[in-house]
Amino acid sequence: MTAIRPLHLLIAVLFAMTARADTDSDTDLKKIMQDLQSDSALVVQGLLMDDFDTVADAAARIANHPRIPPEQVALIAAELGAQMPAFKQFDTLVHNLALSIGAAAQEGDSNSIAANYTRMLDGCLACHASYKQRVSEVLNPD
């Protein structure tokens, strides 16, 4: 079984661009990230408890998180410029791996869940290392 790195369990904060669900008027990138963190923790909890329904539900919410509001997307795009496609690729990676986690949960495949979860969090951490500070500063200039 692939080990889940402790750092991943603590960080589990996803940084994403666009998503597959509609934007909620009360949603902003910070709220999206907080919800993704909670759902990431639920994936681990479900995995450790052999609760594949919890894993599948949390993975579906990760894969289908709300979209970043257009005004925030515009600010991020202005800041990142030509790096915007690379930023978006991290969201696509997380989306696809969350779908894989959900499919593995449907099959009760703990090894696949753990492996894909680790890959997903590697993507989150790489995105954070590359973009978190810049995006945070442009969205919260205070």
pLDDT in tens, the chain (142 residues): 445 444 333 333 333 333 334 444 567 999 999 999 999 999 999 999 999 999 999 999 999 999 999 999 999 999 999 999 999 999 999 999 999 999 999 999 999 999 999 999 999 999 999 999 999 999 988 7
- CATH number reported for the structural domain that contains residue 59 in this entry: 1.20.120
Q: What is the span of the domain harbouring residue 50?
A: 6-139
Q: Which residues contact 112 (CB under 8 A, 6 or more apart)?
A: 100, 101, 104
Number of domains in the chain: 1
Say if 1 falls within a structural domain: no
Say if 55 falls within a structural domain: yes
Say if 48 falls within a structural domain: yes
